[in-house]
A and B are shown apart, each in its own frame.
Chain A
Amino acid sequence: MQQSTRSRLALRTVALGYLALLLAVPLAMIFYRTFERGLGAFVHQITTPACISAISLSLTIVAIVVPINVVLGVVTALALARGRFPGKGILHAMVDLPFAVSPVVVGVSLTLLWGVHGWFGGLAGHGIHVIFSLPGMVLATIFVTLPFVVREVEPVLVEIGEEQEQAAATLGASRGQIFRRITLPAIRWGLAYGVVLTVARSLGEFGALTVVAGGVAGQSQTLTLLVHARYLDDRNTYGAYCAATVLMVMALLTLLLMVVVNRQRATQSEEVAA
């Protein structure tokens, strides 16, 4: 379709204006507010015990969630792409459930299940605390990030098909060898992209954590919860800006990784198509 220069310019202005107004301006504002008092003040705000604890808690959750999602996500993707079993359609729909369900609902349902009065509440009597402590936060984060690895890996598995794996089998490779030498190299960039998305979503998770995390500073407060608490409870808006900036820098690093991985993935799928 031919477009006149004028309509092209108009379209461009609308698109860029929209992005600037909704994304760039608010984020730039936070950067500006963070650094207007100088680097020293910023460093002071992000090295308080509460902030350091929040950063390390957020990273700990990521460190636990990512390996679990990688293993379970690849297994689920394999089941969906290769398996023939009744109820596959239901499994498909269930994987997408976290996209549809609000994180707050996830938090509430986890509390119902694991809270003191929930089905597994008896565990608290044995010293195993889930809600308001790390296990609950990990469970909530796994729930909301579950689809990413599955949804990135499954289409790749479908696309490469089973023939390479069968060829490896006829050449004597065991199931483990086939997975390591044939399947894993084929899905590696899809998997990497799924991991990057999981990291981004884990760092940013807020809704489910407000319910299941205690939000006790220095103990069960993630970076997102810290931003929220500083802003609303402590009336420390400047501290909230600083913590938000830390969160944003992490997100930007993840984004950068995303771009790199995505480019690799695109080259690889061209190779598959060739």
Chain B
Amino acid sequence: MISVCGVSKRYGSAQILNDVSLDIPDGSLTALLGPSGSGKTSLLRIIAGLEEPDAGTVVLSGENVTAVAPQRRNIGFVFQHYAAFKHMTVRDNVAFGLTIRKRPRREIDARVNELLGIVGLAGYSHRYPNQLSGGQRQRMALARALAVDPKVLLLDEPFGALDAKVREDLRGWLRRLHENVHVTTVLVTHDQEEAMDVAGHIALMNAGRIEQFGTPREVYEAPATEFVLRFLGPVAEFCGRLVRPHDLRVTRDHTPGAIAARVTRISHLGFEVRIELSAGDAAPITAQVTRGEARHLEVNPGDEVWVSAEDVAASIRLVG
């Protein structure tokens, strides 16, 4: 387990982390998710020992490592821009940690070959990093981090520098890798879709604090704060509450709790249909329905309809 307790960090006058506590279960894949400047990368670097916290402790597998150098934390770290050793071949990159540990050559060769097979770079061992694509470099960096059998694998925006297609491939690939290797993994990302897709747990961070920690379903379906609700997807304002546009129900007939509204505009966006509504003096409402629902509803601009919110757990009451 990774236990972060009361960690604070400031750079000059900027408070990057403010009394952060977090328990990451063994064997899980956890995403630190938040906008840039939320402190997620700093938290990851503090777990790795690459930064020192001003206050608080970091415990890895029961051992307080707050004052332990990164060399002795038994971690694997993957950087956004790969941090490939440019003057070494792929083989030497992956073997680096084992060479430092002075393992016998035969053992190193076997381990490197095994890992290159796992990351799909079996034929590339004599290439140099500049002969690889971005995705290949990042897989090499992953193999390099895994070579030393780390207790914890830390990934800092690992797919951030890659284009969308490669990113999606690597995401699925990382998920399968984690299913096979089972090393406790922490992934920093600002992409909510990536976090929801890959991670078993998500810690949502904002302004140096953790807003909520839970499974993707928990944070999506029962957001603890307005920030969480807004960060994970589009929101609509409805009767003093923030709700998901797809949780708004538009009907021809009156239902309990519904309010009357007039359709102002309908946009067909492929599988979803967006209905813009105005209800009296309130701010315009945007509801999102499926194509099937829209066809069933058969509304046109100018029609009078009833709108109600479906899933109250996933909404947040607006203050003031």
Q: Which residues of A contact B (CB under 8 A)?
A: 160, 163-164, 166-174, 177, 181-182, 185-186, 271-272, 274
Contact = CB atoms under 8 A, between A and B. Distances in A.
A181 B128 CA distance: 16
Contacts of B73: 170
B126 to A, nearest CB: 16
B144 interface: yes
Contact of A174 (B71, B85, B86): B71
A258 B76 CA distance: 41
- Determine chain A's interface SS by DSSP, over half rule: helix
B70 A169 contact: yes
B97 to A, nearest CB: 4
A122 B86 CA distance: 52
Contact of A171 (B69, B130, B144): B144
A163 B71 contact: no
Contacts of B141: 167
Given A170-B75, A172-B72, A186-B87, 11 more contacts: A163-B79, A166-B70, A166-B79, A167-B79, A167-B83, A167-B144, A170-B70, A170-B71, A170-B73, A172-B101, A181-B96
A270 to B, nearest CB: 9
B261 to A, nearest CB: 54
B84 to A, nearest CB: 8
Interface residues of B, number: 28
Contact of B100 (A166, A177, A186): A177
Interface string B51-91: 00000000000000000011111011101010111110000
Contacts of A171: 76, 96-97, 100, 144-145, 148
Contacts of B46: none
For B69, B76, B85, B148, which residue has the most chain A Cβ atoms within 10 angstroms?
Answer: B85
A154 B97 CA distance: 27
The 10 closest A-B pairs by CB, nearest first: A171-B97, A163-B83, A167-B83, A170-B77, A274-B130, A185-B87, A172-B100, A169-B70, A173-B100, A170-B70
Given A163-B79, A173-B71, A271-B130, A168 B86 contact: no
Contacts of A166: 50, 70, 77, 79, 83
Contacts of B69: 169
Contacts of B101: 172
A168 B75 contact: no
For A170, A177, A185, A274, which residue has the most chain B Cβ atoms within 10 angstroms?
Answer: A170
Nearest to A164: B83
